[in-house]
A and B are shown apart, each in its own frame.
Chain A
Amino acid sequence: MKCLKCGTNSLYRARSNGKCPQCGKRFVFEPKRGDPYTDGFFQAALTQISAKQSLYFHPRHLYFELARRKKAKPLQNPKAAAIGTVVAGLIFGVIMSFPLASFLGNAFFLVALVYLFILFRAAKKVISAAESPEIQFKWLDFSKHLNRWKAVEGETIPYLLQTSDKPSKLIAAPPFKDLLDYSVERLILCDKPEIVDFLVANQFHLEQKCAILSFNGYPRENFEEIRAMLQRSEHLMVYFIHNASLNGCSMVSELKRPEWFPHAKIFDLGLNPVHAEKFKGLWEKSNSPFRTLAGYSEEELAWLKEWKLDLMVIPPSRLLRHLRNQINAHQEKIVDAYAAGDGVSDFGVESGFVLDFDDGGGGDFG
């Protein structure tokens, strides 16, 4: 295993005290003692998720990145793999039976039965692991690992945002008297405050000239003022992003209500069940009571009843880039409409706006 400080590769017996034999640096993880990854593996995930320490990220971004990296490559044919496991196990068992039969005597049949049981259990596990869409890595385990990392590498992980129960505090009273006299024409509406923090920390609001709010009233200090400001905007466009979950998907229909933005153009950018296939292996079990939702097919509702998919499965750089591309593409459509001398009163299209995960080298999500 490689030391992150001096780069020395060491064998387990040389590092059995948990330290690098060359420089004495403590290792955080030890796969030989049951940890699921090495320090290098964890560091690589951190580097990837922060885009080489240039983007802020949430702990759940890191959680999904580790899960994605840990996840075995999907098998082309899980059943064939299971049969292969059984056949290989049987050949091994037959070869071993000759010396063992005379050694074990009557107990041989009992050992053979146990062996066969274990063999078939292993084959079954191969099939279920290959086919399960559920994330196999527990959040609680990840949290413990993160704390262990902090204990050794330092409490402050660069670009890591605070955990979800403590969204950062924004200033309550804007010091300039005219701050709320104006408006903007774009809003990114999120289903969770953590996404607001994530976008603001990465200055997405400055880059794309958009307000950012959460559906449940975040940032608390300014929420009503910002919402009132947006309601005055004549050409407001709302881009809604959310988890593919019963809660997340139910919110979009409420945005036409009077307390929200009855006159705005609203674009549901997902996630939705339609995106789920790309993220197989990162799904989580739904824990919301089922209710039917308008605009979703039977198949999608069946998926939502059983599963949910967190928006943070999308790595930060990809999510920011996708959002930016979608907003810019929409803006270009509007400019083109003006250039053609038509569509002046029509601010774009309302439907057909889903996150397209296939642009620019996709396929590394699921």
Chain B
Amino acid sequence: MVSLGLSKKQTHVRPLAKGELVLPGQRQRNFPVIAGGVGLSVSQTHTLEQSWRAQGVIPQFMQGLRFESYACEVGGQDLRTAQAWKQQIQQGQISAVKGGFVVADHESDRQLSLYRDPMGERTLFYTRIGAGLIYASNLDLLLASGMVQRSLNLDALARYLSYAYLPGRETLLNDVFELLPGEALHWSQGEVKTEHFWTLPEIDRECSEETAIRLLREELESAILRRMPAQETVCASLSGGIDSSLVVALLSKFSLSKVRTWSVSFGEKYRNELPFSQALAEAAQTEHQILEIMPQTVMHFLDATLACLGNPIGDPLTVPNALLFRTANAYGPVLFNGEGGDPLFGGPKNIPMLLSALYLQETKTPEFELARTYLHSYRKLYADLPQLFEPETLKALTPGGLEKDLIPWFSAQSEQSLVHQLMSANTRLKGSHHILYKVNAISQKLGVYPASPLFDKNIAELAFSMPPQFKLRGGVEKYILKQAVSDLLPAQILNRPKSGMQVPVEQWFKPGGPLNREAKHRLRNLAKYPWFKRDYFQRLAAWDLGGYLPRHGLKVWILLSLEAWLRYYIGGP
């Protein structure tokens, strides 16, 4: 790749592979978390009160409203008080709120409603305790109640291995659930009902391209302005792709002081996107640094990062993301990212699925086949499950459960747009449960708010109301998004082909690679759990899974993340 001649000494930061993920001198910012319960006995309430107060959280059991939010407003008014939230709920206008939130409204000591923001920027877990219900904004807090049995949900395990995240309500623990984005849960007299208070809109055929471009630009600017800190330094991650570049370009336009940006690199010998991020940093005149992350550093912080996450995420960027938040902590309260452009505007997952539909073999169940292909398109361990799981584990799974989960997204009807359905699935599954979940979970403990302006509710509504042909134009991905910011970005970034941030996991974990020995040790530990065949791990460690593109490194990473999660949440084998 091309070097732009920046001085390495000035621009590179290399986190060391030692110490804690949360630094002793880290700025402690007040990030409220919520927890509470309803329908519990007096002794249960007393136990929970003690457990949660020991964690520094004041729980809610009686009438009242608790909320956790970031950059929330409605009709230009910020929502900063419980009273304002209550009013919004009473008016039936919770769906009009912009921003990330979870709200627990104890209407009385016998009635509770929980709400989660439409896109899934914030998270809420819950579980039933007898006829009652307890909730908390992270999994650790829910488990700190001491009332949850820690047993593994095997269907959820199969989902994690297939997606590298958990794509729905179920967590890896039996009977522990995550409130879905845009969902309200009502508990009354021991009965639980859920409803969606917000759904993705249908396509508006009347929308012209010019109008769409103008409206999108307005919404982009508004979403970014609403999330900018009032006075402190503006911080952003900058990968060099179009999404993070447009966010940084707009931040620089609006910020009174220089924006501080970071790119991640894994060393000079691996392909990277640095020339693009550096070009944008120069054009937008940001204070730019490269966070150079060595393999030993990633492995050192793996356990601590998984412990932040709650639900496991098998994305090799989790540790670099955590280190980015930790670095940004010293400079500002918010770290912007460019997440959201791909699922909302026709990113790279669509074309393989379009091709799959074109080359579908004759079958009675095309939606089942499309669901299978969608699972394959994640390129994780879906195809490996029969070799990875013991026969007893396979028997315990819901037959065809993975595919059946997806069939509603691929019900092939002549009036439907496949791209629209794909973008719905990508936004609802990967967007909410992987991307937004990850940045929210990691950032909480590192004292920095994640700002994902492209996942703004208004932008999502606009994106889904546009004809899909505006987003995928011929073979050009994210066409309308590029048009909306064409004046802001250099042509080399605007027109470049997507290459994506590649973490060199293949090179790290391969036999002879710097992390091979550590990986083998951890995989041996994972193989001791009763659900897996040991032979699979031996073949994986020997780089001998077969196929022309077995992706050993990525599979190792997903399994190492699972091993760290199991050790932390369930205990050793």
B414 interfacial contact with A, CB 8 Å: yes
Residue of B356, B361, B474 with most partner-chain A CB within 10 A: B474
Looking across the interface, which residue of chain A has its beta carbon closest to that of B373?
A: A206
Which chain B residues border A331 with CB–CB below 8 Å?
497, 499
Q: How far in angstroms is the closest Cβ of chain B from A137? A: 26
Q: Contacting chain B: which of A118-126, A226-234, A257-265?
A: A226-234
Which chain A residues border B42 with CB–CB below 8 Å?
none
Which chain A residues border B18 with CB–CB below 8 Å?
none
B547 interfacial contact with A, CB 8 Å: yes
B519-562 interface mask toward A, CB cutoff 8 Å, 1 = contact, 0 = none? 00000000000000000000000000111111000000000000
Q: A234-B474, A324-B548 are contacts. A178–B359 as well, Cβ < 8 Å?
A: no
Which chain B residues border A321 with CB–CB below 8 Å?
548-549
Judge whether A169 and B547 touch: CB under 8 Å.
Answer: no
Q: When chains A and B are docked, how far (Å) is the Cα of A275 from the Cα of B486?
A: 46
Residue of A209, A226, A234, A332 with most partner-chain B CB within 10 A: A209
Q: A54-B547, A331-B499 are contacts. A177–B416 as well, Cβ < 8 Å?
A: yes
B330 interfacial contact with A, CB 8 Å: no
Looking across the interface, which residue of chain B has its beta carbon closest to that of A169?
A: B362
Q: When chains A and B are docked, how far (Å) is the Cα of A207 from the Cα of B376?
A: 10
Q: A169-B361, A211-B355, A222-B358 are contacts. A339–B275 as well, Cβ < 8 Å?
A: yes
A183 interfacial contact with B, CB 8 Å: yes
Which chain A residues border B360 with CB–CB below 8 Å?
170-171, 174
Judge whether B548 and A211 touch: CB under 8 Å.
Answer: no
Looking across the interface, which residue of chain A has its beta carbon closest to that of B377?
A: A206
Neighbour of A170 across the interface among B359, B376, B474, B491, CB < 8 A: B359
A168 interfacial contact with B, CB 8 Å: yes
- Residues in A194-251 with C-beta less than 8 Å from chain B: 200, 202-203, 205-207, 209-212, 219, 222, 226, 232-235
Judge whether B356 and A179 touch: CB under 8 Å.
Answer: no
Neighbour of A54 across the interface among B356, B361, B492, B545, CB < 8 A: B545
Judge whether A205 and B355 touch: CB under 8 Å.
Answer: yes
B1 interfacial contact with A, CB 8 Å: yes
B279 interfacial contact with A, CB 8 Å: yes
Judge whether A344 and B475 touch: CB under 8 Å.
Answer: no
Q: How far in angstroms is the closest Cβ of chain A from B333? A: 33
Q: When chains A and B are docked, how far (Å) is the Cα of A181 from the Cα of B550?
A: 33
Q: When chains A and B are docked, how far (Å) is the Cα of A33 from the Cα of B351?
A: 54
Looking across the interface, which residue of chain A has its beta carbon closest to that of B274?
A: A339
Judge whether A176 and B469 touch: CB under 8 Å.
Answer: no
A39 interfacial contact with B, CB 8 Å: no
Determine the interface band of chain A, counting residues with CB < 8 A from chain B.
35 or more
Which chain B residues border A182 with CB–CB below 8 Å?
350-351, 354, 419, 469, 472-475
A335 interfacial contact with B, CB 8 Å: yes
Judge whether B416 and A52 touch: CB under 8 Å.
Answer: no
Neighbour of A179 across the interface among B2, B279, B418, B549, CB < 8 A: B418
Determine the interface band of chain B, counting residues with CB < 8 A from chain A.
35 or more
Judge whether B475 and A178 touch: CB under 8 Å.
Answer: no
Neighbour of B475 across the interface among A176, A184, A226, A335, CB < 8 A: A184
Which chain B residues border A168 with CB–CB below 8 Å?
361-362
Total cross-chain contacts (CB, 8 A): 143
Q: A175-B366, A175-B413, A185-B475 are contacts. A336–B2 as well, Cβ < 8 Å?
A: yes
Looking across the interface, which residue of chain B has its beta carbon closest to that of A185?
A: B475
Neighbour of B548 across the interface among A51, A169, A183, CB < 8 A: A51
B205 interfacial contact with A, CB 8 Å: no
Q: How far in angstroms is the closest Cβ of chain B from A203? A: 7
Which chain B residues border A210 with CB–CB below 8 Å?
355
Q: When chains A and B are docked, how far (Å) is the Cα of A232 from the Cα of B469?
A: 14
Q: A170-B361, A176-B417, A222-B358 are contacts. A332–B271 as well, Cβ < 8 Å?
A: yes
Which chain B residues border A193 with CB–CB below 8 Å?
none
Which chain B residues border A177 with CB–CB below 8 Å?
414-417
Looking across the interface, which residue of chain B has its beta carbon closest to that of A52?
A: B546
Which chain A residues border B275 with CB–CB below 8 Å?
339-340
B468 interfacial contact with A, CB 8 Å: yes
Judge whether A339 and B492 touch: CB under 8 Å.
Answer: yes
Q: When chains A and B are docked, how far (Å) is the Cα of A203 from the Cα of B352?
A: 10
Q: A182-B419, A211-B355, A335-B497 are contacts. A341–B361 as well, Cβ < 8 Å?
A: no
Looking across the interface, which residue of chain A has its beta carbon closest to that of B353?
A: A206
Q: When chains A and B are docked, how far (Å) is the Cα of A203 from the Cα of B417?
A: 23
Judge whether B546 and A344 touch: CB under 8 Å.
Answer: no
Which chain A residues border B357 with CB–CB below 8 Å?
174-176, 179
Q: How far in angstroms is the closest Cβ of chain A from B254? A: 27
Judge whether B358 and A174 touch: CB under 8 Å.
Answer: yes
B456-482 interface mask toward A, CB cutoff 8 Å, 1 = contact, 0 = none? 000000000000110011111000000
Q: When chains A and B are docked, how far (Å) is the Cα of A169 from the Cα of B363?
A: 10
Q: How far in angstroms is the closest Cβ of chain A from B137? A: 38
B496 interfacial contact with A, CB 8 Å: yes
Q: When chains A and B are docked, how far (Å) is the Cα of A314 from the Cα of B497?
A: 31
A276 interfacial contact with B, CB 8 Å: no
Looking across the interface, which residue of chain B has its beta carbon closest to that of A180?
A: B358
A296 interfacial contact with B, CB 8 Å: no
Q: How far in angstroms is the closest Cβ of chain B from A143? A: 25
Q: How far in angstroms is the closest Cβ of chain B from A136? A: 29
Q: How far in angstroms is the closest Cβ of chain A from B418? A: 4
Q: How far in angstroms is the closest Cβ of chain A from B17? A: 30
Judge whether B496 and A338 touch: CB under 8 Å.
Answer: yes
Q: List 30 A-B contacts (CB under 8 A).
A: A55-B547, A175-B357, A176-B414, A178-B417, A179-B358, A181-B469, A182-B350, A182-B351, A182-B354, A182-B474, A183-B474, A183-B475, A200-B359, A202-B548, A205-B352, A205-B355, A205-B356, A206-B352, A209-B348, A210-B355, A211-B355, A219-B359, A222-B358, A324-B549, A332-B271, A332-B499, A335-B499, A338-B496, A339-B1, A341-B490
Which 10 pairs, one residue from A and one from B, show the smallest C-beta to C-beta distance? Answer: A175-B412, A54-B546, A52-B546, A176-B418, A339-B275, A54-B547, A338-B496, A320-B548, A185-B475, A183-B474
Given A171-B366, A344-B495, 5 new contacts (CB under 8 A): A168-B362, A176-B421, A209-B351, A210-B355, A340-B275
